[in-house]
Amino acid sequence: MKLAVIGSGNIGKGIGSWAAKVGYEVIFSAKNEAHAEAAARASGHGAVKETQEILNHSLC
């Protein structure tokens, strides 16, 4: 299953980290790209930050 998390604050990171840990494919997005990248790195388990390439692929 896939989960896109919009926002990389405490709640977004918490939900995304939990989802990645239990097997979801997680994509983080935030106003500040560096924050989304930090949230993805912190959650581990293959979580990634949103990029235009990912969005284009996901919409197909």
- Is the pLDDT at 55 greater than 80? The verdict is no
Which SS3 state, helix, strand or coil, does residue 6 take?
strand
Provide the mean pLDDT of the chain. Answer: 85
Cβ neighbours of residue 25 closer than 8 Å, sequence gap 6 or more = 1, 2, 3, 46
Which SS3 state, helix, strand or coil, does residue 14 take?
helix
Q: Compute the distance between CA of residue 48 and CA of residue 5 in angstroms, rounded to an integer.
A: 10
- Is the pLDDT at 59 greater than 60? The verdict is no
Mean pLDDT confidence for 28-51: 87
**The pTM is what?**
0.77
Token representation of residue 50: 């949103």
Confidence of residue 58 (pLDDT cuts 50, 70, 90): low
Report pLDDT for 30: 87
What domains appear along the chain, each with residue ranges and CATH number? Answer: 2-58 (3.40.50.720)
Residue 59 is given by DSSP the state: T
